[in-house]
Structure 1
Amino acid sequence: MFWKFDLHTTSHIDTLLEKEDVTLTEVMDEEDVLQECKAQNHKLVDFLVRPQCMVDLVTYITQEPSDDVEEKIKYKYPNISCELLTSDVGQINDRLGEDESLLMKLYGFLQRDSPLNPLLASFFSKVLSILIGRKPEQIVEFLRKREDFVDLMIKHIGTSAIMDLLLRMLTCIEPQQLRQDVLNWLNEEKVIQRLVDMVQPSQDEDRHSNASQSLCEIIRLSRDQMFQVQGCSEPDPLLATLEKQETVEQLLSNIFDKEKNDSAIVSVIQILLTLFETRRPAFEGHLEICPPGMSHPSFSVNQSILEAVRPRLKDFHQLLLEPPKKNIMKTTWGMLDPPVGNTRLSVVRLVASLLQTNTHIINMELINLNTLGVILDMYFNYIWNNFLHIQVEICTAMILAMPPAQSENPEINRDQDQEPVRESHLIKHLFQKCQFIQRILDAWSSNEKEQGEGGRRRGYMGHLTRIANSIVHNSDKGPNGAKIQQLISEDDKERWEAFTSGQLADTNKRNTVDLVSLIQTPVTRCQNVCKVHRVFTLEIEANIALFEACCKEKIQQFEDAGSDEEDIWDEKDITFAPEAQRCPRSSGSTDSEESTDSEEEDVKRDPFEPNNASSDDRMEETPWVSTHQCSLKVSFATVPYRNKHLTSYSLITVIMLSLCDVPVSDQWPRDEAAQPANSPGRKAGGSDAEETITTETVTNGSMKETVSLTVDASDNTPYPFPPVTNPSLTTQPFTSQCMWN
C-alpha cells in the first residue's frame, strides 16, 4: 500500500546534487547522506567517486583537523568520510582499491611519527580492513611492495587499531591459498620475532599489552583456522614459529635476564597460558594430555614449550618469594604489605596450567622447589583475595583428581595383600611436606574461634569448604583414593573423620538449598485442586468473530485504479451479515448463572453501541477483543484492544501461585459488591457433591473480571488473586504433577 500510493519523499540530496557548484562538505552536512549512500543513490555515488571527492575523503581520515575548529565538530567530517568509504558500495571500493595514488595517500598515515591519533587510526584501520575483505588480491599486492609495512605495523603496535588491522589480515583474506601466501610473507618478515621483542622492560605498557594480545590472538586464530579448514596440508608458519623452543626461550629471557617489570612479566605469562591451552594434536612431538574430569583423547600440548619453561621454573618460584616492588595497599579491612600483585597471581595461574599438563619432569621440579607450599602459604595469608583462592583450589583439585604422570613408576603395597597402588609424587608432597590436612583443620578451627569471638568469617572459607569436599570425594571415588587414604596419618585420621562428619557435613547442609521445596505442591492439595473448574466470563469466540467481521468490512482490497477512484478511508455505514451479528457461544463452558446472563445480554446488543456507564460489569465503549485462549478449560473476560494490561495472563499467574501455596499479598482492589470469599456459593453441576462455587470480582485498571471457582468442600480455602503487572512472567510453561480438567 505504501509503495502503491508513492508516499515516500524524495531526498533533498538529489536536489542539492543538481547544483553545478555543490561541494563535498555541503553534501556531507545532509543528515541522510549515509543512508542514501548505503542505499546506493546513483547521483550521490557518482558524485562521491569523482577523483577530487575521493582524494578529499581520504584526506579527512588521514590528516589531523585544524586546531581552530570547534571541538564538538572537529572530527565530524573525518567520521562521515570513514562511514562513506566503508559503506560497502561496489563503486567506492573499486575506485579506492584500484587507484594506487589513493592507496598511497591512505598508506601515508602509517608513515607518521608515533603516537598516532587513536581516532584517526581507527578510521584508517576500518577503511583498510574493508578493502582487505573486498579487494584482497589488490591490497595484498600493494602492501607487499611496501618494504617498510611490517616495520611500521610493529612500530605502531601500541595503537590498538593497528593491532586490529594486523589481526584482520590473518582472518579476513580469502581464498585459502592467498591467506597462506600472506602467512608465509609475514613469517618471512619475522613478524613473530618482532612482536616478541616488544615484550620486554624497555618498552611501555601499551606495547607490552598489544604485542602480547596480538601473539595470543595469532595462536588462537591459527588453531581455529586449522580445525575449520579441512584437508589443509600446510601448517600455519606463524603458529609453528611461536611454538618453537627458541621463541619461548626468548620470551622468558626478556623478563628474567633484565630488570623485573610487572607489565612485561604478566604479558609473557599470558602468552604462555595461551600456548598451554589444550587443543587437538596437529604436529609430531606433541604430548597427549587430558584435563581433569575429561576423557577427550585428542588434546595435546607442544612438548617444546615445556622444555623451554622447565629451566625457568626456579625463576617463577623466586617471583612468588620476591615479586616486583609494590607499594603498601590500604584496604577496607587493613593494610597489605606487600599486596599479592598481578605478577604473583599470574605465576599461580601458570603453575595451575603446568599442573594440568601432568608432566613428570615438571611435577618433580615443582616438588623440589616446594612451589606448592609457597602457594598454600599465600592462600592462608591473603584471606580476602578470592582471585588467588580460586587458582589454589584449581591446583589442589587437579592434583587430587589426576592419575599419576606417565613417567612415574608404580609402587606395590604388599602389606595385607592390598592391590597395587601407583605412586603420585604430587599427592605425597601435598599431604606430607605441605601438611595439607593439618593446615585445613587448623584454619577451620581458627576461623570458628574468631567468629565465636565476634569476628568476621574469613574470605577463603568457601573455597576451603570446596577443597575439603574434593579430598573427601577423591579419597572415596578418585583414581588416587587409596593413596590419599594411606597418606592421612593416624594422628590426623580421627580428627579428619570427626571434621568431615561434623563441621563439614553441617556446612554442606547449610549450603544446600532445596529448590524443589519452594515450588512443590502437596499431592493431596493437587488432587483437590484438580477437581476445580476455574471459569471466568466468556464471549471469547463471539467477540473474535465480531472483531474480524468489523475488519473485513472496514478494510477493502486495493485495486489498481486512477486518481478518480473512491477514497478508501471515507466513513461509511457498516452492515453485518446475520451470522456476523450473532455468533455462537464457546462450547464447553461451565460458567456461573451470573456470567451466563451477562453473556446473553452482550450477544444481543450491538457490539459498537455505547455501553451503559452506570453498569459495574461494563467497560469503556470500545470493541471487545479477546486477549487469550487457554487450553486449561479456563476462559477470561475479554479486554479492550487498546488495553495494554494482559489481565488474562495476570490471572493465570495468580492461579499458579496460589496452587503452589506461594504467599501473596491480599492488598488488591476488590469490588465492594462482590460476594465474600468464604461464602458457600452455589452447588456446582456435576456428580461431585462436595464441590461448591466461590466467586470474586477482580478490578484491574479500567476493567473488572468475575472469578468463579469450584472448590472442594474438604478444603474450601479461597485463594487470593492480587493483580500481576508483569505479563512476561507468565510466558514460561507451568509444570505440575496433576492434570488440569
Structure 2
Amino acid sequence: MFWRMAGLSTTSPVEAILDKENFTLEELLDEDEIIQECKALNTRLINFLREKAQVEQLVRYIVEEPPEDAEKSQTFKFPFIACEIFTCEVDIILKTLVEDEELMNLLFSFLDSKHSHSTLLAGYFSKVVICLLLRKTVPFMQYVKSHQEIVKQLVDLIGITSIMEVLIRLIGADEHMFSSHKDSMQWMEDTDVLDMIVDKFSSSDSPEVHANAAEMLCAITCSALPGLAAKISSPSFVGRLFHHALEDSRPKSVLVNSLSVCISLLDPKRIMLGAYHMYNRQLTQGSTITANPETVEGMLESLGELLKLLEVSSVETTLPTTYGKLQPPLGKHRLKIVEFISVLLTVGSEAAEKELIQLGALQKILDLFFLYPYNNFLHHHVESIVVSCLESKKAFLVEHLLHECDLVGKILEAEKNFKLTSDLSKPTVAAEGRSPPKIGNIGHLTHVSTKLVQLGNNNAEVQAYLQENNEWTDWHANVLSKRNVIENVYQWACGRPTALQDRTRDSDDDDYHDRDYDVAALANNLNQAFRFGVYSNDDMDEVLFRIF
C-alpha cells in the first residue's frame, strides 16, 4: 500500500493546466496524462471536456483530415487522444455527443462520398461509433433510424475493414448487441441492407470489398435478426450469390467469397471455429450439420455450372516449387469449390448427393487429389468428402466410390507409384536433375484406407468387394496394418501421447514411476552427448540436475 505523505505528493500536469486562467483544449491533448485523468474521472477535466465546443473539436480531430502543413501532433497525436477520450466511456461526455444532432451529423459526415477516408481516421471513427453503439444503444439507434442513408454509406465503404465492423454490429450480427437490444434493432429487418451488400460483388472489382462483403454475410448467417437470417437463407438470395459467382467477366475473388457465404449458410458454426477444429469435427462426427432444405435446393440449381470450373485453372502460368513445378497451380477458386462440396456432403441431403453423383463431381475431385499430391488443403477436403460418403452408410454413395470412382484401384496405384512423376502432361512435375520425391498425400490415403477397412467390418458387401481384390488383401496385410501399428502414437514409449492417458496416482513418488520416459535411456544418451563434447565438465552437474 502506498501512503500519501505531506511534501511527497505531486500535482498532475493536467491539474496545472486546469489551474491556468486561460488554457486551450490542445494544451490538454498534448499532455500525456490526460487519458489517465479521464479514466480516474477528474471532475474539473470532465466538466471541461463535456462542453459542446470541446466535444465538437474532439470529433473534428477524428473525422477531418489535418492540413498538409499541420504539425505532427495535430496529424497523429490529437486524433488518437480524442478517440481515446471517447472510448474511456465517460457517460457525461458520450451523452453530450449522442444527444446533440449537430454533433452526430458532424461525426457521420466522415461517411460522405466526397470525404477522404484514410485508414487511420476510419479506425478512430469506428471505435467511437462502436463505443456509442454499445454504451448509448437506444439514442444511437434512434438517430440512425431517422438517418437511414447511413446504412448505405457504410455499405459503400465496406472495403475498409473498420467500417465493416461498425456495420456488423449495427445490423445485429453481433450476438451480444442483438440479445441485449432486440427492440431497438428490429427496424433493420425492413431495410434492404442485404441487397446492398450482395450487390457489391457486381459493382466492385476490389478483392477487399468482396472479402469484407462475404464476411458480413457470413456473420449474418451466424447471428442476426430473424428477418435477415430468413432472407439470406432463401433460395432466391442463394441464386443471386451464384449468379454473381459464375459471371465470366467477374474476378475470381467474387467466386471464392460467394462460396464462403454458401458454406456458412450450410454450416454457420464453421466461421466461429478454426480450420483445424472444423477438419477434426468433420472427420470424427460425420454428418452433424443440419441445413435448411430450401437453401440446399437453391444451391443445386447452379451446381453443374460450378463444377465445370474444376476443369479450368484461373492461372495458366507455371509455378516453380521446391519439389518441381505446377503447370498450372490448383488455384484458390478450385480449392474453394472442393471445400464447398465437402461441406455440402456433410449436410446429408440425398438430393445433393445424387446430383453430385450424376454430375461426376466425386470423380473430378478424386482426380485432383492425385494430380496435386502436395496440396494439403485439397487433401484435407477430399478426405473429408470420402469419409462423409463412407460414414453416411448409404449404399449408392459407397458403391459409387468403389465402382465408378475406383477408389481402391487409385489408392493401390498411388501406393505402387509413390514418387512424383516426370510426365510433362501432368500438372505436378518433378524438378529436372533431381531424384523424384515421394508424393505428399500418403498419410491421407492411409486414413481413407483405414476407414474403408472399418466400414468393411460392418458391411458384408464392402468386405466381399475388398476381399475379392487380391492386390488389396496383400497390401492391407503387409503394408497398411503394419503402417497403422507404427503410426499409432499412443503406443509410443516417449513424448506426450501416453501422458494423455488417465492417471490413477497422485503422489510425487507414483508420478515419478508413471512418467513416459526411460530414465536409464536418458542417462545413456547423456553419456553419449558428453562423450562427443556436447557438454563440458562444468555443465554436467546442471544437466544431471535438470534430468533427475
Counterpart position of 2:193? 191
Residue pair 2:205, 2:251 contacting (<8 A) in 1 also: no
Shift of 1:356: 1.0
Of 216, 223, 245, which residue of structure 1 is paired with 2:218?
Answer: 216
Counterpart position of 1:3? 3
More helix by share: 2
Code of the aligned partner of 1:32: E
Shift of 1:49: 1.7
Code of the aligned partner of 1:471: L
Shift of 1:659: 5.2
Residue pair 1:115, 1:159 contacting (<8 A) in 2 also: no
Code of the aligned partner of 1:369: L
Question: Does the alignment pair 1:253 with 2:243?
Answer: yes
Counterpart position of 2:476? 500
Counterpart position of 2:437? 456
Q: Deviations over 1:467-518 (max 9, x none)?
A: 21121122114xxx2232244483xx21101001112223223323466533
Counterpart position of 1:32? 33
Shift of 1:253: 1.1
Counterpart position of 1:134? 135
Question: Does the alignment pair 1:662 with 2:513?
Answer: no
Q: Give the structure-2-normalised TM-score.
A: 0.83
Q: Distance in 2 between matches of 1:194 and 1:447?
A: 51
Residue pair 1:201, 1:264 contacting (<8 A) in 2 also: no
Q: Deviations over 1:199-219 (max 9, x none)?
A: 237532121111110000111
Change (3 A) 1:392 1:146: same
The runs of 5 or more residues in structure 1 that have no matched partner are 223-234, 280-289, 405-423, 521-630, 634-651, 670-697, 701-719, 731-741
Residue pair 2:283, 2:384 contacting (<8 A) in 1 also: no
Q: Deviations over 1:46-93 (max 9, x none)?
A: 222222221111100000022223568731111111001111112211
Residue pair 1:386, 1:460 contacting (<8 A) in 2 also: yes
Residue pair 1:114, 1:156 contacting (<8 A) in 2 also: no
Of 388, 399, 415, which residue of structure 2 is paired with 1:428?
Answer: 399
Larger Rg: 1
Q: Distance in 2 between matches of 1:514 and 1:106?
A: 60
Question: Does the alignment pair 1:381 with 2:371?
Answer: yes
Q: Distance in 1 between matches of 2:282 and 2:61?
A: 53
Identity %: 28
Shift of 1:175: 8.0
1:116-195 matches, cutoff 5 A: 116-169=117-170, 170=172, 171=174, 176=179, 178-182=181-185, 184-195=186-197
1:329-728 matches, cutoff 5 A: 329-404=319-394, 424-447=395-418, 455-477=436-458, 481-488=459-466, 490=468, 493-513=469-489, 517-518=493-494, 661-663=521-523, 665=526, 722-723=542-543
Residue pair 1:248, 1:305 contacting (<8 A) in 2 also: yes
Code of the aligned partner of 1:85: F
Shift of 1:23: 1.3
Q: Deviations over 1:563-602 (max 9, x none)?
A: xxxxxxxxxxxxxxxxxxxxxxxxxxxxxxxxxxxxxxxx
Q: Deviations over 1:672-719 (max 9, x none)?
A: xxxxxxxxxxxxxxxxxxxxxxxxxx999xxxxxxxxxxxxxxxxxxx
Q: Distance in 2 between matches of 1:57 and 1:15?
A: 21
Q: Deviations over 1:126-166 (max 9, x none)?
A: 11111111111111111111131121111111111111001
Residue pair 2:87, 2:128 contacting (<8 A) in 1 also: yes
Code of the aligned partner of 1:341: G
- Superposition RMSD on alpha carbons, in Å? 3.4
Q: Deviations over 1:419-448 (max 9, x none)?
A: xxxxx2121111111111111111110116
1:304-315 matches, cutoff 5 A: 304-315=294-305
Q: Give the structure-1-normalised TM-score.
A: 0.63
Counterpart position of 1:95? 96
Change (3 A) 1:30 1:296: same
Residue pair 1:219, 1:275 contacting (<8 A) in 2 also: yes
Q: Deviations over 1:263-296 (max 9, x none)?
A: 00001100000011167xxxxxxxxxx9675489
User: Size of the alignment, in residue pairs?
Assistant: 503
Q: Distance in 2 between matches of 1:60 and 1:177?
A: 32
Q: Distance in 2 between matches of 1:724 and 1:115?
A: 66
Change (3 A) 1:113 1:426: farther
Code of the aligned partner of 1:460: N
Q: Distance in 1 between matches of 2:517 and 2:74?
A: 57
Q: Distance in 2 between matches of 1:66 and 1:315?
A: 53
Q: Deviations over 1:324-343 (max 9, x none)?
A: 34433222233322210000
Code of the aligned partner of 2:358: N
SS at match of 2:522: coil
Counterpart position of 1:317? 307
Q: Distance in 1 between matches of 2:88 and 2:24?
A: 20
Residue pair 1:45, 1:92 contacting (<8 A) in 2 also: yes
Shift of 1:366: 1.1
Q: Distance in 1 between matches of 2:479 and 2:463?
A: 20
SS at match of 1:335: strand
Counterpart position of 2:503? none
Q: Distance in 1 between matches of 2:370 and 2:518?
A: 49
Change (3 A) 1:346 1:448: closer
Shift of 1:20: 1.6
Q: Distance in 2 between matches of 1:16 and 1:72?
A: 18
SS at match of 1:69: coil
Shift of 1:309: 0.9
Counterpart position of 2:80? 79
